[in-house]
A = this chain, B = another copy of it.
Amino acid sequence: MKTIKNKIYTLPKGTYSERATKKFLTYLNGNFEIKYCNSIYDVFENVDNSGFGVVPIENSIEGSVSLTQDLLLQFREVNIVGELAMDIHHNLIGYDKNKIETIVSHPQALAQCREYIKKHGWSVKAVESTSEAVKLVAESSNEKLGAIGSKDSAKQFGLKILEENIEDYKNNKTRFILIGKSALSFKTCPNRYKVSIVFELKEDKPGALYHILKEFAERKINLTRIESRPSKKRLGTYIFYIDFEDPGKNLKETLESLKEQTTFIYVLGRYPVLL
């Protein structure tokens, strides 16, 4: 008897998204086969046909939150079905720390290690990805160059890890979401759920958002994220992305209360937060 394997799409090998995918799989029942895509967009395109996907949803060196949010709104049938956070650590990679003069990395990684780089008085050069940075340093054979990247990439290109965990802030977490068009079966019953919604405000006037938040505050529902973006469809209107702790039986009533104040409101997912 042949086992049916579900496909789970994510970013290339060695990325944090791949690691997040493997972590998601430890929580899921069923057989999965990881498929690698070149971009967040490709992941959504594939999941829109079938299977599941894992992409970053928050400030990350692998993609912008705004793209993932745009795609969640565009691929209306693709929902968030799970979430987890990963610690992001950066490493100094190269030949000899004392000989380094210039650091090469992705702009987001350079930004996340800025104080460390400044302390050493190094100059910086931005490239497209952390893995490209490590490759560049390896191919140059130039001891004056150092890269910021993952341990895996140091191994891949045969360079030394000169220092671990060089990020300025130690609570550097990135959230990843599991997306799909159908439900999934979890091995253990998750004990925390969140809801993500997107809506457009009817009127752009002072206090409009304040009235929306009142509906949450009065029900003592904790918001975990809020973001506004100008609507692409009409000038002067805004769409809002709000994540909040699942209020259980109050969910329907809360969403109903927002309908009057919005031109549209979609639930992007009601999903477990995995540890």
Is the pair B223, A209 in contact by a Cβ cutoff of 8 Å?
yes
Is the pair A225, B228 in contact by a Cβ cutoff of 8 Å?
yes
With A209-B213, A227-B227 known to touch, is A70 a contact of B66 (CB < 8 Å)?
Answer: no
Contact mask A162-177 → B, CB, 8 Å, 1/0?
0000001101110000
Hey, which chain B residues are within 8 Å of A171, CB to CB?
Answer: 231-235
Is the pair A226, B209 in contact by a Cβ cutoff of 8 Å?
yes
List the B residue with the shortest CB-CB distance to A65: B66
Report how many copies the assembly holds: 2
Is the pair A41, B213 in contact by a Cβ cutoff of 8 Å?
no
Contact mask A54-87 → B, CB, 8 Å, 1/0?
0000110001111100110010000000000000
Hey, which chain B residues are within 8 Å of A238, CB to CB?
Answer: 225
Chain B binder among A2-10, A25-33, A214-222: A214-222
Chain B binder among A151-159, A186-194, A200-208: A200-208
State A205–B222 Cα separation when bound (angstroms): 6
Hey, which chain B residues are within 8 Å of A232, CB to CB?
Answer: 168-169, 171-172
Question: Is A263 an interface residue, CB under 8 A from the partner?
Answer: no
Hey, which chain B residues are within 8 Å of A231, CB to CB?
Answer: 171
State A229–B171 Cα separation when bound (angstroms): 13
Hey, which chain B residues are within 8 Å of A227, CB to CB?
Answer: 226-228
Hey, which chain B residues are within 8 Å of A66, CB to CB?
Answer: 59, 64-66
Closest Cβ–Cβ distance, residue A132 to chain B (whole Å) = 10
State A228–B238 Cα separation when bound (angstroms): 16
Question: Is A246 an interface residue, CB under 8 A from the partner?
Answer: no
List the B residue with the shortest CB-CB distance to A66: B59
Query: 13 more A-B contacts (CB under 8 A) besides A45-B124, A58-B230, A210-B213?
Result: A38-B126, A63-B64, A64-B66, A67-B107, A169-B233, A171-B232, A206-B221, A206-B223, A207-B220, A210-B214, A210-B217, A223-B228, A226-B227
Q: List 23 A-B contacts (CB under 8 A).
A: A39-B126, A40-B107, A41-B107, A42-B126, A64-B64, A64-B66, A64-B67, A65-B66, A67-B108, A70-B111, A70-B112, A71-B111, A128-B128, A168-B232, A169-B233, A171-B232, A204-B222, A206-B223, A207-B213, A207-B217, A209-B226, A210-B214, A210-B217
